[in-house]
Amino acid sequence: SGDQQWWKSAVVYQVYPRSFADASGDGVGDLRGIAARLDHLERLGVDVLWLSPVYASPQADNGYDISDYQAIDPLFGTLADFDELLAEAHGRGIKVLMDLVVNHTSDEHPWFVESRSSTDNPKRDWYWWRPPRAGYQAGDPGAEPTNWESFFSGSTWELDRATGEYYLHLFDRKQPDLNWENPQVRQAVYAMMRWWLDRGVDGFRMDVINLLSKDPALPDGPPTRGGFGDGSPHYATRPRVHEHLQEMHREVFAGRDGQFLTVGEMPGVTWEQARLFTDPARGELDMVFQFEHVGLDHGVGGKFDPVPLDLRDLKASLGRWQTELGTVGWNSLYWNNHDQPRVVSRFGDDQRWWRESATALATVLHLHRGTPYVYQGEELGMTNAPFAGIEDVRDVEALNYWASATALGHSPRDVLRGLRAMGRDNARTPMQWDGSPQAGFTTGEPWIAVNPNHTWLNAASQYDDPESVFEHYRRLIELRHRLPVVAHGDFRMLHPEHAHAYVYERRYEGHRLLVAANLGPEPVRLSLEPGWSDEHVLLANVTGVQLGGEATLGPWAAVVALRE
């Protein structure tokens, strides 16, 4: 059903509303700001706009803590602003995906306010409440019902003094986990989803959707650092998640007219599991975000203790996902989102080879089999930010980590080094529209500092420059739209053992697409199958690339070639 799988030739653009464009001048991006910048998306040629959360929220985790799923936070505007953005996007042929955050709500959501009010409240069972561990008094060290460590540092359990019980929060204490065992919870979520689809949205990006189902026995996990345990065997990708997603598909999407897209964000998911989630015959999801390739540079101390990437590991990982989701299921392709450091700073070179490495990495990613996601500013080659100290940091994950790591005796200098390299705020500095003092993002005081490099790194200076990062992304997107081999071809990794070159071939109905990139600063020469020559080159990020029996690739050179 080719038409039903329209997203195979589509590219998605992610907007983080807080940091995209501020129309009101309060220093925080908003919906009217996004609407005013749709020209940028149209020029780039993307098919879908994924909006990070704009719902009513206390903003403890920048909107991933929702207090009303059917209201827009005043920070971002009104429902009327939303409807207008939707209409304007649709008018340009751009679909809109909402972020669906239903593993947890805000602790200020009325459901949780009711739930916490007494042990016999009808909504008590909508969340995970447990008494202190047997033999302990509430509040004692070790009294938490399990040893699980939160994604955002500390225990996953918070004591509520009113009833003397603890509630579960895999993320911040202001993000209590919903109990998906309860059918009323599930029906409330499906009704809310239908309400958004009725309003005209085109699908959902589903936040940590593989964490919905917990083992109700809530067993301890294997010990980790700092006296905690790893609870993930008891909450990640449990069998009932598949049941929940199938039920959601039936209750929300089945029989509805239109072309939708569902993508599930899934920390820790394996390709075996992803194949089940995305097998169309099972009726669960269209695609998933997996995390294997963005974990390859995490060190023994976790994400804030990074180690250099070995390109062979990256190729082995992405290559395996290509092969294993080749005939059943579908991949999402991404380097960046609002949780990851900027790829040009992370896997590229944001100094000497900034333009070349940004475009080489883009080339390698976009021509894989799967649906590419571009995170705002990535198409300009935006870089990590030079945070001077902890006072420049805004993210709850980073601030919680800072507090707990420094309390454990880690030196502030080391903690900051980790945050600078890997912190999520790197992705959250304002979009760089032009070289003016606040980068054209706001007329006010931005909620987080603009990166000083906006004076030369900005959209205005890249439009119509044939050598710009933006133009390169635009061409890659155009290739996906134009060439069936990009959307539908198979995948074969070449030179898998090469430490600096990333080379692969795609084939479809007699067409062969070759992608060859040098992801390093030293020149590379590679042997190729006979038959390739310079006349097959479709796109290159530098001049002077030679294709023959050998490919000669200068620093960070990337080339795309096509033949029959």
Given the rule CB under 6 A, which residues bind ligand ISL? 61, 64, 101, 151, 171, 207-208, 265, 267, 303, 338-339, 397, 424
Smallest gap, in angstroms, from Cβ of residue 369 to ligand ISL?
23
Q: Which residue matches tokens 């990074």? A: 306
Residue among 64 and 271 whose Cβ is closer to ligand ISL? 64
Give one word for 166, left, alpha or beta, with left for phi > 0 and alpha for psi -120 to 50: beta
Choosing from 65, 265, 349, 505, which is the catalytic residue? 265
Any catalytic annotation for residue 349?
no
Rounded CA separation 500/438 (Å): 38
Contact 490, 507 (CB under 8 A): yes
3-state secondary structure 83-108: HHHHHHHHHCCCEEEEEECCCECCCC
Residue 422: CB minimum distance to ligand ISL, A: 8
For ligand ISL, which is the closer residue by CB, 6 or 151?
Answer: 151
Least CB distance to ligand ISL at residue 355 (A): 28
Residue nearest to ligand ISL (CB): 64
R_g (Cα) of the chain, nearest Å: 24
User: Bridge-partner residues for 508, per DSSP?
Assistant: 511
Query: Do the bridges between strand 48-51 and strand 12-15 make them parallel or antiparallel, or are there none, so unpaired?
Result: parallel
Spatial distance between the Cα atoms of 426 and 146, rounded to a whole number of angstroms = 33
User: DSSP for 441-492?
Assistant: T-SS--SSPPPGGGGTSSHHHHTT-TTSHHHHHHHHHHHHHH-HHHHH---E
Catalytic one of 207, 339, 350, 425:
207
Residue closer to ligand ISL (CB basis): 339 or 378: 339
Measured from the CB atom, the residue of 64 and 111 that comes closer to ligand ISL is: 64
**Tokens representing 526?**
């590679």
Which residues lie across from 167 on neighbouring strands?
129, 158
State the minimum distance, in angstroms, from the CB of residue 349 to ligand ISL.
24
Report in angstroms how near the CB of residue 224 gets to ligand ISL at its nearest.
14
- The smaller minimum CB distance to ligand ISL, of residues 16 and 271, is found at 16
Terminal Cα distance for the chain, rounded:
26
Q: Is 207 a catalytic residue?
A: yes
Confirm if 204 and 211 have CB atoms less than 8 A apart: no
Which of residues 232 and 455 has its CB atom nearest to ligand ISL in the complex? 232
Q: What does the longest C-alpha to C-alpha distance in the chain come to?
A: 76
Phi, psi angles (nearest 5°) of residue 494: -115, 150
Residue pair 331/277 in contact by the 8 Å Cβ criterion: no
Q: How far is the CB of 356 from ligand ISL (least distance, A)?
A: 28
The nearest distance, CB 215 to ligand ISL, in angstroms, is 20
Of 101 and 479, which has the nearer Cβ to ligand ISL? 101
Beta strands in 215-292 (DSSP E): 261-265, 287-289
Instruction: Output 61 or 297, the one with its CB closest to ligand ISL.
Output: 61
Going by C-alpha positions, the residue among 384, 382, 339 that lies closest to residue 362 is 382
At 51, give phi and psi (nearest 5°).
Answer: -100, 120
DSSP letter at 133?
A: P
Question: DSSP code of 539?
Answer: E
Q: Ramachandran region of residue 200, left (φ > 0), alpha (ψ -120 to 50) or beta?
A: left
Shortest Cβ distance from residue 64 to ligand ISL (Å)? 3
* Closest to ligand ISL by CB, 317 or 533: 317
Q: In angstroms, give the least distance from the CB of 171 to ligand ISL.
A: 4
Strands 550-553 and 524-527, sheet pairing: antiparallel
Active site residues: 207, 265
